Amino acid sequence: MSKAGMRFHQLAIGTRFQFEGGFYTKTSPVMANDESGKAVFMKRSDAVEPADVSAQVSDDINQPHQILAMALARYTNEAMEIVHNAFHPAEAATLNKVHQKLSELEQHLLEDASSRLD
């Protein structure tokens, strides 16, 4: 399969890609950060387009807020995996609420830390 028409799950973590008109960086198997560092849940089946590396102006992955965002996303995803393993599949609604709350906490922490890094 060519790089055009790739699915999110096919991207390596750390890959910069385009999705629905915006640019993102994959931070975990189900999460990506937009250009502002905001974490976004992605479906494995989402159609994405790898970004043209030659078109990138800077290496965003080396910016402190991007490093922090990736570390925080990894932490959140590992926490979600622990929570997911503790729930019965029939409790999907509760699991989704927990995931949403963890994502909100991640975003608040990232915003607070990013404002101090700038």
Each residue's pLDDT tens digit, 30-44 = 888 888 888 889 998
pTM of the predicted protein model = 0.46
Query: Is pLDDT above 50 for 9?
Result: yes
Is the same domain home to 46 and 28? Answer: yes
Asked if residue 1 is part of any domain, the answer here is no
Is the same domain home to 78 and 93? Answer: yes
CA atoms within a 13 Å half-sphere pointing along the CA-CB vector of 80: 25
Q: Which of 100, 38, 90, 101 is nearest to 68 (CA)?
A: 38
Domain range for 36: 6-57
Is the same domain home to 80 and 100? Answer: yes
Contacts of 71 (CB under 8 A, 6+ apart): none
Asked if residue 88 is part of any domain, the answer here is yes
Total count of domains within the chain: 2
**Boundary of a domain, candidates 57, 78, 93:** 57
pLDDT in tens, 42-87: 998 999 998 864 434 344 455 777 777 777 777 877 777 787 778 7
Is the same domain home to 66 and 41? Answer: no
Is the same domain home to 84 and 37? Answer: no
